[in-house]
Amino acid sequence: MGLKQENVRMVSKLGVIVLGMFLFGYALVPIYKAICEMTGINVLALGDRLIPGATPTLSANTQVDTSRSITVEFDANARGPWMFKPAVSSLQVHPGELATVMYEFQNVQDRTMSAQAIPSYAPAQAGSHFNKLECFCFSQYTLAPGEKKQWPVAFVIDPKLSKDVSTITLSYTFFEVGGKTPAAPVAAVHVSPKQEPGA
């Protein structure tokens, strides 16, 4: 009888421990949420606002200037035998609006190559207001013979851009890194024939 009572007491203790663990785990979410709100991390609170069906409380992007549109033209120049072009030739964007355009590239050579792109802007003043968040021009790329790639350019035009500018041309020059560069021309040296003594 004593052994049975000890077993019942042990099972009761284990039951209390399991119940305590369950309640602690259940209480972790509100505790964690309170700690996040106190420390300013607020990750869970942000997630609650993004739940489907919930009323979003995030404020709209007030940085977008919908009163004007800018035409962004895309240009591609290749320094070498490969294919390089934008997926679209132009795009209408509002200043402050995030936009993305894809560029297509193919190594049409029969050898592996590494290349990189350099951007330029017209008018030149647009360069300081053309903010690229993602761009293939940030890195060098190595492509196998015949390999095709698509790369994005994600950008925002600063609303502070002069209202006189209605069109911006974004141009990329794609060149091979470490490729064969033609040697500089060698100046021809004219050697005169030896003069005969006494001539």
Residue with tokens 């991390």, as numbered in its chain: 41
Q: How many domains does the chain have?
A: 2
* Domain annotation covers residue 55: no
Query: In terms of domains, do 90 and 135 share one?
Result: yes
Q: DSSP string spanning 36-105?
A: HHHHT--HHHHHHHTSTTSPP-PPP-TT--TT--EEEEEEEEEESSSEEEESSSEEEE-TT-EEEEEEEE
Contact criterion met (CB below 8 Å) for 79 and 117? no
Tokens coding 192: 């005169």
Query: In terms of domains, do 44 and 106 share one?
Result: no
Segment 6-51, tens digit of pLDDT: 888 888 888 889 888 877 776 776 776 666 566 655 544 444 444 4
Query: In terms of domains, do 35 and 89 share one?
Result: no
Contact criterion met (CB below 8 Å) for 197 and 138? no
Query: In terms of domains, do 150 and 79 share one?
Result: yes
Query: In terms of domains, do 35 and 92 share one?
Result: no
Give the residue from 134, 144, 64 showing the smallest Cα distance to 106: 144
Q: For position 19, what pLDDT does the model report?
A: 84
Give the residue from 31, 28, 50 showing the smallest Cα distance to 39: 31
Residues in the chain where the model's pLDDT stays below 70: 1, 26, 29, 32-62, 179-199
Domain around 156: 70-176
* Domain annotation covers residue 190: no
Query: In terms of domains, do 75 and 42 share one?
Result: no
* Domain annotation covers residue 62: no
Query: In terms of domains, do 10 and 92 share one?
Result: no
* Domain annotation covers residue 186: no
Query: In terms of domains, do 43 and 76 share one?
Result: no
- pTM recorded for the entire structure: 0.55
* Domain annotation covers residue 153: yes
Query: In terms of domains, do 34 and 97 share one?
Result: no
CB atoms within 10 A of CB 194: 7
Query: In terms of domains, do 74 and 10 share one?
Result: no
Contact criterion met (CB below 8 Å) for 166 and 72? no
Query: In terms of domains, do 24 and 77 share one?
Result: no
